[in-house]
Amino acid sequence: KEAEMDGTQQVSLQVAASFKAFLMKSSSKSNLNLYDHLSRLLMRVIEERPHDVVDVMEDLSHDVKLRLYEDTQSSLQDLQQTTAAEELAEQQKVLFVRPEDAPEHEFELESALPNVSEIAYFLEQAGVGLGREEMQRVFLALKQLVSSYTMQRCRLWGKILGIERSYIIAEAEFAEGEEEDEEGPEEVADEEAREVDAKEKMDPLPQSTYKAPPVVPKEAKGTGANKFVYFVCNEAGLPWTKLPSVTPAQITVARQIRKFFTGRLDAPIVSYPPFPGNEANYLRAQIARISAGTQISPQGFYQAIEEEGAEEEGSSEDGIEENPEYEGVPVGELVDSLSSWVHHTQHILQQGRCTWVNLAVKTEDESNEEEAEEIEEDPDEPEPEVGPPLLTPLSQDAEIFETVPWSSSLSSTLTSQHAIAIMRSNCWPGACAYAYAKKFENIYVGWGLKYPGDGYSPLLPPPPQSEYPSAPEITEDVDPTVEEEQALQDALDEKQAAEEAEEGDSDEEQDEDDD
Amino acid sequence: MDANSLSYSLELVAGSGCILNTEQRAALQTSLIILKKNYKFNRVLFWGKILGLKEHYFIAQGRRDDELKDTQHFYSFNCIDWFLIPTTTTEMIEDVSKTAKGRFEGDPSFVYESRQAERLDPSVEESTTKVTEETRLAVTVHHINEDASVVPRGAFINSTHGVVQINRSFGGLSNTQAGKLENFLHFAQPKNLKKKSLLEMADLNPALDFLDPLSEDIPKGSWSLQFESANKVCVIRSLLWLGLTFYHVPMTPLHGFIYIGYGTKNLDLPFML
């Protein structure tokens, strides 16, 4: 019996050995064998003990094979490549370095930099912001900006999202005369254009009779839409770029187009009507429009400066200052009534300026100089456009597309006694303001586009100019048909016959000749 | 975004400008757990917020076994009391497309009306369609899910039984992969996949590539892909539904999306690119 047992054992051992040999047969492609693979796989399961291992067995098996491959490659090392994240980190590191020459404690009372962490705290209550860490980085970047220029005031204006990158925008106010002018290049470009014109006069082409409407002059720095200077950067830590000041033409066109920002300041704006400038100008124009529409403060925070000479409304441009006796409006009142908030940025008129300028007068002057041209339609003095004055309450804002212009809310419904008042603009989605006690702040985070209502309809191109005056000599008639010709012929014949009859018998001979 | 990693995820999408304040976050952490228990969900996601004129709708999504089809949505005003959003039907979609215009009011019982005189047949009297804002909300959420919900490739598996489940061995896209739109898929029933030729299908893995990739959307450029938060997070924003932000941290399985916006589709997109 024992011998029999031995026999079967031997047979089964043999079978097992042959099966093992089969398992250990290495693949002709990968030079791996199943035996080693399974043992590695089981070793890994034993080591890692994953949860529900049977479900992920396939992936584990795949992973084991991949690792094997990686191990054999270990003698070759990856080429070190600096990623964008690393580069950015290097640049942002500068933000966190304290300059060595800085005094131990800075207790300067007058600083252009606002109390940023407090603003970040309130903005978070209001439900807007860029995230805590990002906000901190942005504020450090603001500090860098303040230290590199001498400016009176500087604050975070907001962020405009773009397709490729986004813009972080800072608003700065310079003291008068401290800002250098950079008006040079534009005029040079004009002169170049004139030179080209002169060359063309050698062989004159037909002149266009089109006369461009007079250009509305740009507002001086520090007034109107150019009251503040704006700096942008794509990421906190990257250098700040100063935006050019805005022209009325840019504002007018920006009102008619609807484009996303790309995130590159030098990108061209392809649109109809054509936008005068590149994306930097478009960005600046949108900033001006958003500021004019959405910068609000609780009533009483600012007061009009009472000057002796300023009777006219137009002349009191910057006529507001902080009210030293401002006590703060209760939060409940701020939420309940729109009239407790006022605009503190000037409204931009249809003309694209904050203060209206009479263009008719100017064109007359020019034409006198040039002599040749005379203005035929002597302009009746045009109605000056008047916008709402500064510090107009929000309750007078117009409704757009049957939507109330502002939505107000409290930051907390549970602890409303300590909540802050929040205003969101429905006209410019993304614009937000908060107020609490004596403090308030405006911020904009969005795509930089106005609420479109039912949809945007692009401006149609003007009708084509007529080539020549329409008159009977140059209009083409329809060719007469055979019947019409026949009819005409008959009519003529009849007429002739009648005439002949009238003339009587005397001409009979002639008749015969005619026939 | 998954309710369990809500605070961290919200930080990652904060670049779009909308964040939740501490009170709302805390309330969500509490109420979403209760929601999950009451409806026996496998997991609960914070879907987003639709901004109304008076109130804002907070929206949550519950998912059961099938991550794609077995979902329900809820809305709330205070982040605590959740109300079920009805399932959408084609009729509802049609009615809403006729009537609803402009911004959400912030009141679910608000009624949108539209009168349509039949132009061709004057004998038929004016027909009025009435739609409540709750219906509109349901349809809007449905549309956003169809058009703009995004997952990275490989994050979900279509099992042999046809059930869509989380891929547990998904380790995240690499940095290079995350920079390409082909590697992000619409998390909705595929529309273009069946129209593909055999040659195009050859490279696809049926367990992973059962959804439409974003790169095939029309018009081209309806997505904006960026790296944010010091270039660590891959953020994709939909330009069709302004307010939808997707995030994915490369080399980690962390991903999700949130919609915070006005609930209106950007129909002007072709003009704006």
Q: For residues B15 and A134, is the Cβ–Cβ distance under 8 A?
A: yes
Which residue from B263, B227, B269 is spatially nearest to B106, judged by alpha carbons?
B263
Model confidence band, residue A429 (pLDDT cutoffs 50, 70, 90): confident
Q: Considering the domain boundaries, does residue A292 fall inside one?
A: yes
How far apart CA A368 and CA A382 sit, in angstroms, is 20
Mean pLDDT, chain B, whole residue set: 85
Q: Considering the domain boundaries, does residue A487 fall inside one?
A: no
> Lowest-pLDDT range, A346-360, A499-513, B165-179?
A499-513
pLDDT in tens, A77-135: 667 777 777 888 888 888 888 776 665 555 555 566 778 788 888 888 888 888 888 88
Predicted complex ipTM exceeds 0.85: yes
Which pLDDT score, from 0 to 100, does residue A330 have? 79
Total structural domains in chain A? 1
For residue A376, the one-letter residue type is: E
Q: Considering the domain boundaries, does residue A462 fall inside one?
A: no
Which residue from B262, B229, B56 is spatially nearest to A130, judged by alpha carbons?
B229
Q: Chain-centre distance of CA A307, in angstroms?
A: 38
Q: A163 contacts in B (CB within 8 Å)?
A: 221, 224, 239, 273
Mean pLDDT, chain A, whole residue set: 77
How far apart CA B183 and CA B214 sit, in angstroms, is 8
Chain A (72-91) residues lying within 8 Å, Cβ to Cβ, of chain B: 83-85, 88-89
pLDDT in tens, A161-202: 988 888 999 988 887 655 554 444 444 444 444 454 555 556
Q: Considering the domain boundaries, does residue A34 fall inside one?
A: no
Q: B16 contacts in A (CB within 8 Å)?
A: 161, 445
pLDDT in tens, A468-501: 777 777 777 788 889 889 999 999 999 999 988 8
Q: Considering the domain boundaries, does residue A481 fall inside one?
A: no
Q: Considering the domain boundaries, does residue A202 fall inside one?
A: no
Which pLDDT score, from 0 to 100, does residue A413 have? 78
How far apart CA A333 and CA A339 sit, in angstroms, is 9
Cross-chain Cβ contact B175/A258 below 8 Å? no
Q: Considering the domain boundaries, does residue A73 fall inside one?
A: no
**Pick from B24, B78, B169: which is nearest to A56 by CB?**
B169
Model confidence band, residue B111 (pLDDT cutoffs 50, 70, 90): confident
Longest CA pairwise span in chain A (Å): 165
Residue range(s) defining the domain that contains residue A249: 115-177+212-306+318-374+385-446
Q: A449 contacts in B (CB within 8 Å)?
A: 272
**Pick from A133, A412, A430: which is nearest to B17 by CB?**
A430
Q: Considering the domain boundaries, does residue A99 fall inside one?
A: no
